[in-house]
Amino acid sequence: MKFKIIFACLFMLIFCLKTSGQNKVDKYCSVQISNIKVMSVKTRATINFGDYESLFSFKDTTVIAKLQIVNSFTNSVDVLNYMSSIGWTVVPLTSVKYFGGDIERLYFKKTFDSSELLSKD
């Protein structure tokens, strides 16, 4: 009986020590959905990770590949559903008029463990 209690306490202690050392990092991206009216209405989504590649670098290269799928979508509902399905949450959005077309910007956030990111060395 004592062995089970000692083992359970030891397991909980190791788990607490391991999880307390993990740093969480929020990463953001934006998706611009443009309705350009030239000859016909063409809708296009474009994802933006920012200018500094080192700030958006992951050990798992599929993270970026999954996000780039957004570039094939043609409306905000598809973008919202897809980003939600891969764990990103939407933050406040804005819409602006631009030369006869509508531009909608959606901002997304996801919290990653620092161990998932490439080091900045």
Q: Model's pTM, two decimal places?
A: 0.68
| Residues of the chain above pLDDT 70, percent | 68
- What's the pLDDT at 51? 84
Beta bridge partners of 98: 101
Report the candidate in 29, 71, 23 with the shortest Cα–Cα distance to residue 52. 29
- The band of 66, judged by pLDDT with boundaries at 50, 70 and 90, is very high
The CA-based angle 68-71-75, given to 5 degrees, is: 135
Q: What are residue 113's DSSP bridge partners?
A: 24
Q: Strand runs (DSSP E) across 1-121, as ranges?
A: 24-37, 41-48, 89-98, 101-113
3-class secondary-structure state, position 55: helix
For residue 98, pLDDT beyond 90: no
Q: Which CATH architecture has domain 23-116?
A: 2-Layer Sandwich (3.30)
Of 51 and 9, more confident: 51
